[in-house]
């Protein structure tokens, strides 16, 4: 029934569609959007897995392109009903320069907005981040907060600064007239730390644990809690928002939503052990041996080494003053805004999310 030509008429574009989150959004759209006629997957690097999707009832169009190039973005957006903009440079390790991070995250987002306006695309869903809120440079905890919780969102690092700037542009664009005279409807989703199949840092921790004889060493107190969210639920929330934006434009346009599910609040390391434990690793408590000041010293040394070695090679370890500060600051969200505004309920239970992630690791 859903495969008839009359029901399939929507064209979606997913930027960053070959990334960790983007791939899940693409697959979720194919499973859960029966009105889909064409799915355009736009990315700097296209994945070989896209080929297997081309045999289904939906026309899957792979577009190799760069969001920093306005003409490439406009060509991809032209004729799309909905754009889900997940493309971004996720770098808190100093791999890319601040200029490149801004170019991709801010200019890239500007290009997407302008392309919607020029070509008449009305619905834009932006993948923002919890990082636009915090943790801030003062290390203030954000405890069980929601979208309206007051918090001093002051940042210095290029990644959160660029995400905050891009999110503001997207929200300000809500209501702009697009080609044809109708209004643009935008909203932004703010995932907390995403985990699940394809989460590269989780694999890195796993391999590090194997190298250390099946052990990982606790560096952060167990009392520092983080919210985490399963990638399948983040993808589901994007699909649902995209589907509901037209009907609920007045309510949802210009809004931000944290992405949440039933994953437990835990420290970053304890949460990772939910998956790495069943894969044979154990977390050794060495916090009394490695006090915080020593970790900070190591993180600062890493930053110094990165700077000194930059002319010769790229030294970008996981530990630096910024990642240490994020890992060491409580950031948990507790909200039902997405449920109230567009009926979101997690598609995957915590048990499901955990099992799928363990299987992948």
Ligand X SMILES: NC(=O)C1=CN([C@@H]2O[C@H](COP(=O)(O)OP(=O)(O)OC[C@H]3O[C@@H](n4cnc5c(N)ncnc54)[C@H](O)[C@@H]3O)[C@@H](O)[C@H]2O)C=CC1
Ligand Y SMILES: C[C@@H](CO)CCC[C@@H](C)[C@H]1CC[C@H]2[C@@H]3[C@H](O)CC4=CC(=O)CC[C@]4(C)[C@H]3CC[C@]12C
Residues that bind ligand Y (CB under 6 A): 90, 92, 129-131, 193, 201, 219-220, 268-269, 318-319, 323-324, 326-327
- With binding defined as CB under 6 A, does residue 194 bind ligand X? yes
89 binds, among ligand Y, ligand X, none (CB under 5 to 8 A by kind): ligand X
Answer yes or no: are the C-beta atoms of 357 and 197 closer than 8 Å. yes
> C-beta of 181: minimal distance to ligand X in Å?
30
22 binds, among ligand Y, ligand X, none (CB under 5 to 8 A by kind): ligand X
Instruction: Compose the 40-69 pattern: x for residues touching ligand X by CB under 6 A, - for all others.
Output: ---xxx--------------------xxx-
12: annotated active-site residue: no
* Residue 159 buriedness (CB in 10 A; 0-12 / 13-18 / 19+): buried
> C-beta of 72: minimal distance to ligand X in Å?
8
Residues recorded for the chain:
361
Nearest Cα residue to 67 out of 13, 12, 133, 121: 13
Q: State which residue, 22 or 232, has the beta carbon closest to ligand X.
A: 22
Alpha helices in the chain (DSSP H): 20-32, 50-53, 70-77, 98-102, 108-119, 158-172, 200-211, 231-244, 249-252, 268-276, 292-309, 321-327, 337-342, 350-360
- With binding defined as CB under 6 A, does residue 193 bind ligand X? yes
> C-beta of 201: minimal distance to ligand X in Å?
8
Nearest Cα residue to 105 out of 120, 86, 83, 133: 86
243 binds, among ligand X, ligand Y, none (CB under 5 to 8 A by kind): none
Nearest Cα residue to 125 out of 50, 25, 196: 25
Among 80, 90, 188, 245, binds ligand X (CB under 6 A): 90
- With binding defined as CB under 6 A, does residue 19 bind ligand X? yes
Residue whose beta carbon is closest to ligand Y = 193
- With binding defined as CB under 6 A, does residue 89 bind ligand X? yes
Instruction: List, by residue number, the catalytic residues.
Output: 159
Q: Please report, as ranges, the residues that interact with ligand X according to CB under 6 A.
A: 16, 18-22, 43-45, 66-68, 86-90, 104, 108, 127, 129, 163, 191, 193-194
């Amino acid at each position: 029934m859903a495969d008839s030509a009359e029901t399939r008429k929507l064209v979606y574009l997913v930027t960053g569609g070959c990334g960790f989150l983007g791939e899940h959004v693409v697959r979720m759209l194919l499973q859960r959007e029966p009105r889909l006629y064409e799915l355009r997957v736009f990315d700097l690097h296209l994945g070989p897995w896209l080929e297997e999707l081309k045999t289904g009832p939906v026309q899957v169009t792979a577009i190799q392109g760069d969001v920093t190039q306005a003409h490439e973005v406009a060509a991809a957006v032209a004729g799309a009903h909905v754009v889900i903009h997940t493309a971004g440079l996720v770098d808190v390790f100093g791999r890319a320069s601040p200029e490149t991070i801004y170019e991709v995250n801010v200019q890239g987002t500007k290009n997407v907005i302008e392309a919607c306006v020029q070509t008449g695309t009305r619905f834009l869903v932006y993948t923002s981040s919890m990082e636009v809120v915090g943790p801030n440079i003062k290390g203030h905890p954000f405890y069980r907060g929601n979208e309206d919780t007051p918090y001093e969102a002051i940042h210095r690092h290029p990644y959160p600064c660029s995400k905050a700037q891009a999110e503001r542009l997207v929200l300000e664009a809500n209501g702009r007239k697009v080609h044809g005279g109708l209004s643009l409807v935008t909203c932004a989703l703010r995932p907390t730390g995403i985990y699940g199949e394809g989460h590269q840092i989780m694999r890195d921790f796993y391999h590090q644990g194997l190298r250390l004889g099946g052990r990982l060493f606790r560096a952060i107190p167990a009392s520092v809690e983080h919210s985490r969210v399963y990638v399948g639920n983040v993808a589901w929330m994007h699909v649902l928002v995209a589907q509901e934006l037209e009907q609920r434009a007045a309510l949802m346009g210009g809004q931000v939503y944290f992405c949440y599910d039933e994953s437990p609040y835990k420290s970053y390391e304890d949460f990772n052990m939910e998956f790495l434990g069943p894969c044979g690793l154990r977390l050794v408590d060495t916090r009394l041996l490695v006090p915080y000041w020593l970790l900070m010293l190591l993180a600062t040394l890493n930053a110094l080494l990165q700077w000194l070695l930059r002319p010769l090679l790229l030294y970008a370890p996981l530990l630096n003053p910024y990642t240490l500060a994020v890992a060491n600051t409580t950031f948990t969200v507790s909200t039902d805004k997405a449920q109230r505004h567009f009926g979101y309920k997690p598609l995957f239970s915590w048990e499901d999310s955990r099992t799928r992630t363990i299987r992948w690791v």
